[in-house]
Amino acid sequence: MTDEIIELSCNLDDMTPEGVGFALETLLAEGALDAFTTAIGMKKSRPGVMLTCLCRPEEGEKMARLLLRHTTTLGIRETRCKRYILERSLEERETEYGPVRVKRSEGFGVSREKPEYEDLCRIARERGLSLEEVRKLIK
């Protein structure tokens, strides 16, 4: 399956890490498909981050406004992207350790399954096991 998304990005070298984190959290809470940073080197040999927001085309202007409001950037780059995505589903399976949600993804000749991280953590805490031990038990 394919769809179209917008990638918005800006470079930041004068924000606190907490400010960048707040901007990322705000974008995700407001409907961004994803938001992340990449370490970059900027002019005057300054370390900085590139903040990237992925969103649906109809959300582009809203996300751009949020980026301008919650960061120190003076401008944002927009790139339209075609995205190849696997179809996803979530099913709950009963195990001897309790219910575990399993994410399934399929398409383009690929089929994957992965237990939900939060469920593995719950079992690990309840049983006093490591996350890796629980992963092996659930497979």
pLDDT digits (tens), the chain, 139 positions: 999 999 999 999 999 999 999 999 999 999 999 999 999 999 999 999 999 999 999 999 999 999 999 999 999 999 999 999 999 999 999 998 899 999 999 999 999 999 999 999 999 999 999 999 999 988 7
Could you say which DSSP state residue 108 is in? T
Residue 63 tokens read as 């996300």
Structural domains in the chain, sorted by start = 2-84 (3.30.70.1380), 87-138 (no CATH)
Give the Cα separation of 41 and 50 in Å (integer). Answer: 9
- Residue 11 to residue 30: CA distance in whole angstroms: 21
